[in-house]
Structure 1
Amino acid sequence: GVSISGYSITANVYNCIISDNYGYLGAGISAGSIATTVTNCIFINNTATYRGGGIYAPGGCVTTITNSIFWGNEAEFIKYAQIFVWKGVYADICRVTYCDVQGGYHEHMGDTTWENNIETNPLFTNPGNGDYHLLAGSPCIDAGDPDFVAKLGETDLEGKRPRLLDGDGNGSTIVDMGVYEFTTLPYIAHTPRVFRFFCLEDGENPDDQILTISNSGVGTLNWQIDETCSWLSVSSDSGSSIEEADNITLSVDITGLTSGDYSCELTILDPYATNNPQTVEVILYVTGPIIEPSKLDIDFETDEGGPNPDDQILTISNSGGGTLNWQIDEACSWLSVSPDSGSSTGEFDDVTLSVDITGLTSGYHNYQLAISDPCAINNPQIIEVTLHIAEILHIPNDEYPTIQSAIDAAPIGAKIIVADGVYMGSGNRDIDFNGKTITVKSANGPENCIIDSQGTENEPHRGFYFHNGENDKSILDGFTIKNGCTSAGGGILCDSSSPMITNCTIVENAALVQFSNNGGGICCLNSSATINNCIITKNIAQPKGGGIYCSNSEGVTITNCTITDNHAIDTPTSPPPNPEPPIPGPIPIQIPTKSIGGGIYCASGTTIRDTIVTGNLAYDGAGIYCGSRITVENCTIYG
């Protein structure tokens, strides 16, 4: 039959027929030394050549047996044929309740609790042919544990009748002993118990759904459906079933219904069914208008003393049902909207937002724009409108003689405009944004505004050092950065910062400490920097990333750049593997033997778009060396 063994586990045997097995000990179940629970089972015609024809519990565990029948089992000694519990040093603790046990209790049952059991023929329908249904008048009908609670949807072994039925018709629903529930009446079985329909106001009716009704009892189920719901109809309101299932179509008509939740109950009736009546819940969800703005944040930007920012368009539509009648509550002195109301059944309405900065000071101005419709299910929707008027600092001047002094004084959001010239020395190299979201911009482009770092191996300097969590609103725009020399990021180092570097020329910088992080032009460490429309040329690194070096930097984006004539080297005197042809490029060094990534070195996820990579030099990956995931789109890589 079943042998149960192991440690620190439990076994549950439920709704099983265990019959016609043979064994030495425990022909039906040998419980081993673990806790075993047996519920609503039948043990019949099992034979043990020694003891425990039905169950053998050898000791050291807890065995619980409930609502079960032990009949016709055999063993060497007849009194041990049904249940044998070891009675010794490791006595088993056994609890037998609400069971029908042939021969009843005997003295060799260990430490056994024996309560509410019977020892009467269970009156099976045809046990000789394996039919263990209970006959009318069986002592096992409604004789199980009265406190037994069935799980939702739980059935007997056949899967047709619920686990709890009033089998003897006395008005009390009590579980039967054994695997089958007894009934002489039809039983209303139906599925599902709850229907949910979803639709849009003024939209199409929801799809039909199917209710299945069947008879899980005996005889004929003559069912009727009682429903008085104006928006619900059924394909058939009556029928009969012996064993077959009847499928009834439920249809919904939403004509005239506004948005909201509607519910009603169907009642399934048969006065002769043991579980008459049964109810089915039907819920209809009619979705009304939904305010769908094209964006929830709108940003305007302009400079102090400059023109009004360009108008912006906000699109409003209805992604729900019915008609959206929207209005915009706008009471802001510097913001106007047109139109401020409209309606939508799904089409898109464009609203123009305009800003007038007259009389406003520099800084950030904020307003919450409310789009409302009392009938919308997501009323209201709030649009965050931000106006940034950048304070302008022109340098150099008497107050701010260096770029760094202007950055130190600049408020958040300011723009620092740097005049034409060559900037050198303290305050104009190793420039630090200090984590500020500001823009540092040349007045007339990189050809006219030069940061000369004057770095050497003995006195290292670079142009810019981002290391205070700067983001894409920390903008460096329009500089030539040259003559930097450091161990990493000769021109620019981005360490745990992700600025935007745009319209810059990074030229003739070096990162020359072997085994360090490199990047002659730019080094990105733990960064998602944006490098846009830049020329990166004639930089060197020892040995990785002559132009750009990226490591631990998921999200670095290089767009519309030219990366040319950069070199990754071992040492300035590395011998060439082949002296011919001569080395191209402006830097007079030999071909490296162990260097990597002449143009770009990627050790983390990097995206390169619309970029030219040409004339770079390295032993491995002269143009681009990739040691991880990389995306390259619309690029030219040659030479």
Structure 2
Amino acid sequence: MKKVIRSFLKCINFPAVVVLCLVLALMFGCQEDDPDPVPQIVPGIPTNVQTEVTQDAVVLTWVASQNADYYHVYRSLQSENGFQRIVTAKELRIADAELEVDQTYFYRISGVRLTEDQKEVEGEKSPTVQAVFVVGILNVGVDLIDFGETSLQQQLTIKNDGNGKLNWTISSDVDWLTFEQDSGELQAKGEQTINLVSVRPKSPARLEGLISVVSDWGQSFVMTVRMIVSPYPKLSLSTNTLDLGLTREFKTFQIRNSGTGSLEWQVNKLSHADWFTVSPQNGVLFAGQSDTLIIKIVLDKLRKYPLSGRISENLVFRANDDEKRVYITIKTVNPVLSVSDESIDMGLNLDVSSFTISNSGSGVLEWEIYGGEDWLVFEPKAGSSEGETDRITVTVDRTHLPEGDHSARLRVDA
């Protein structure tokens, strides 16, 4: 038997057998083709990514990408890297809250497709967008506005302590209060002062209400506002001192009945000073009414007082059983005329010369030049000085003058 097997093996052509096996393997392997792989469907890139900063979040919106079932939103504190997924959203809008104020954030969004076997296919991320989370911070700093018994006007300063733009509105629940401005806009770290004006009723009362200031960031401040209307006439003055300084213009102030009923008043000078006048000197005021008093300087009387001094007077106001005073002061330093030359010699050939006029005192010096001859011209002829020096040019026309000495006299008045 062994001899038979050896004889058979000697008869086999092993290379031919190997080739035959390979051919058979190819034949059987090609009987049925492999199916083509299914192409991968990748979502498109989200477009038109927008950011909007609100009072408590950064809101992102975008346009849907093709073949996306939902979206991954990524955020970073750097523009190029460090992005981490913060949320997965099916909607085309998310609000990123709990952010740090004054921090810059960077965002990218990708579309995601979910395959039949529940595997995610994520598309390319959108270009980076950024948002600076800044807010407006409303602040008014007070919790009470008190008009008391006499005040007609108070001021309120509205501030924005944040780095975002802020719009504000103000309102009140009382009808005796008006606002000079009831809304406004504040830039970062800006502030605005508005006037609050009260309308005092004619009947005695203790009034109280609320003022509300609200911002478009959802912040609000509520403060109390009060006013007392006295049950009797009350004399009120807009000031108790009036410093005229060096001015010689008229000044005004107000007298008012801040109570109820009628107020009969009169005013007198305590020392009977003659260097100013006051008008009117008496009157009748009903509840809430006021008069404007005018103080006028009498220059001729003021000049008799010593220079470089200060004088004063008290105006005494009396109304019913009430008395108030206004202390008035003024500086008596007067303008002093100074002329540089007492004479000018034009000699034989000089046609043009000059001299100066100045005010060596204080206040305003009004001056004017008179006199002269036809052959003499001087400019300017008048002016004023508050301490500066004015130069006057003198010109001689010798054309029609006969030989000999000629003279002219000029007079400077101030």
Where is the helix percentage greater, Structure 1 or Structure 2? 2
Could you state the TM-score of these two structures normalised by the residue count of structure 1? 0.21
Where is the strand percentage greater, Structure 1 or Structure 2? 2
Could you state the TM-score of these two structures normalised by the residue count of structure 2? 0.30
Q: Which has the higher contact order (CA 8 A, sep 6+)?
A: 2
